[in-house]
Amino acid sequence: MTEPFAPSARSSVGIEWELMLADRETGDLTGRAPEIIDALEEETRLERFTVTQELLTNTIELTSGIGDTVAAAVDDIADAIAAVRTQTEPREVELLCAGSHPFAQWYDQQVTDKTRYHKLIERTQWWGRNMMIWGIHVHVGVEDVTKVFPLIDALSVYLPHLQALSASSPFWAGERTGYASNRALVFQQLPTAGLPWQLENWAQFEAYLDGMISTGVIADATEVRWDIRPAPRWGTIEIRACDGMSTLPELAAVAALVQTLVEKFSRDLDEGRPTPRIPPWFVRENKWRAARYGLDARIIVDADGRQAPVTEHLRETCDELVDIAAELKCAREFSGLETILATGGSSARQIAVAEAADGDLREVVRHLIREFRGGPTLREHLASLRPLTARHRRRANRAVARFIRSRSIVPG
């Protein structure tokens, strides 16, 4: 079969952000997306952004327009949040984001009434119903289809970096999983999800699609749910490996890293320089390590099997990319990567909150809601935990101290 790859502007950016809807009083998920989206339909019809439904009625997805810069795409997302709040606030519904909800149960959730979602659940059964996961998708424009799979191979080396930076699902259905990103391992249970195949060119991708469609696995290319995939309709490469980012600045930082990596490897291809590639068994191992340990992972960084802490290799990578970030006008957003490295990311913050609250995961939800609103620092949140007994204050102070020691940062 022939699958055309649409023309797009090189290194243009689009962002998708999946958000949870939670009851203000209980913190549990609430399936009110259909009424919220219906109420917004006319108001947002002419906007650059879109607000759409997802698999479950407890979720809305915000999508930016196509931006020349990360800032433009992020501005669209911020406008979308403001529009959504006009409907969620009077309904006493809160917005938050992480790779998973700390305590919600799958059997309490409702599937959105669309044929494609009902077909997915019918086929995938228990695993499909357990897809209580939230993520971000970052699209970057590619001007030449012959670059697509060399770029995907190079980006696969950096999947653990992106997964570690975004890891935000340490809890699942009320339990601490021991994984920084439990979402990463849950999501790959869906058909065609998980790591991309190491294909050499677009013709091999078309052959893959032909085989998957003819055998009834998928209906079209949109059902290929790889961690990194081509998006032929848009002419982009789409990074789908990341957990949901808990704050807008963190979303912007990861989007900036994706954009600069794609541009760096695109320049290497233009100049005939080799792009990084490691064997698929190393890619798979790196995914597991990043899911398990997050920013504490030690990963395999080249085809010879050299290993390094993911934070160390990220900092080396950022040093190489900083000039490109400036050229792409995303230097401000790119600098947010250092903040994530210093503070440990959402999974570490959630664990610190839970420990300080005697394991009360309702406090973790309150923390995520406040973070999403751009609220207080971790220290301020821990200090505000209820009930404010002397014992809880001591636990909060110890949690902050442990968190700071683990990240070697100065209290702020």
CA distance 54 to 57: 7
Alpha-carbon distance values, 362 to 27, 70, 174 (Å): 6, 33, 10
Could you tell me which residues come within 8 angstroms of residue 167 by beta carbon, excluding any fewer than 6 positions away? 99, 180, 181, 184, 243, 290, 291, 294, 295, 345, 346, 347
Topology of domain 13-202+224-341, per CATH? Creatine Kinase; Chain A, domain 2 (3.30.590)
- Helices 345-356/390-407 angle, 10° precision: 150
Contact assessment for residue 56 and residue 111, using Cβ atoms and an 8 Å cutoff:
yes
Tokens of 76: 């669209």
Cα dist. 266→117, 143, 144 in Å?
Answer: 36, 10, 10
| pTM score above 0.75 | yes
Three-state DSSP state, 25: coil
DSSP code of residue 42: T
Give residue limits of the domains in the chain. 13-202+224-341, 344-412
User: 170 with 185: CB under 8 angstroms?
Assistant: no
Amino acid at 215: T
Single-letter residue type at 356: A
CB 155 within 8 A of CB 268: no
pLDDT of residue 343: 84
CA 264 to CA 327: how far, in whole Å? 11
Q: What is the pLDDT of residue 404?
A: 46
Rounded alpha-carbon distances, angstroms, from residue 27 to 51, 366, 370: 22, 7, 12
pLDDT of residue 1: 81
pLDDT value, residue 395: 55
Kindly list the distances between the CA atom of residue 272 and the CA atoms of 266, 320, 321, 385, 411, in Å, as whole numbers in the listed order.
10, 18, 19, 56, 46
Mean pLDDT by 10 residues, the chain (412 residues): 94 98 98 97 93 96 96 96 97 98 96 91 91 97 98 98 98 97 96 95 97 95 97 98 96 97 98 97 98 98 98 97 97 94 93 96 97 66 47 52 48 33
Tokens 């013709």 correspond to: 203
In angstroms, the Cα distances linking 312 to 9, 224, 301, 318, 402 are 32, 32, 11, 10, 21
Give the Cα separation of 380 and 159 in Å (integer): 33
For the chain, the C-alpha Rg in angstroms (whole number) is: 21
Residue 168 CA to residue 182 CA, distance in Å, equals 8
Question: What DSSP assignment string belongs to 51-114?
Answer: EEE-SBTTEEEEE---BSSHHHHHHHHHHHHHHHHHHHTTTTEEEE--SS-SS--GGG--B-S-
Do 101 and 365 meet the contact criterion of CB atoms below 8 Å apart?
Answer: yes
**CA gap 408, 412 in Å, rounded:** 12
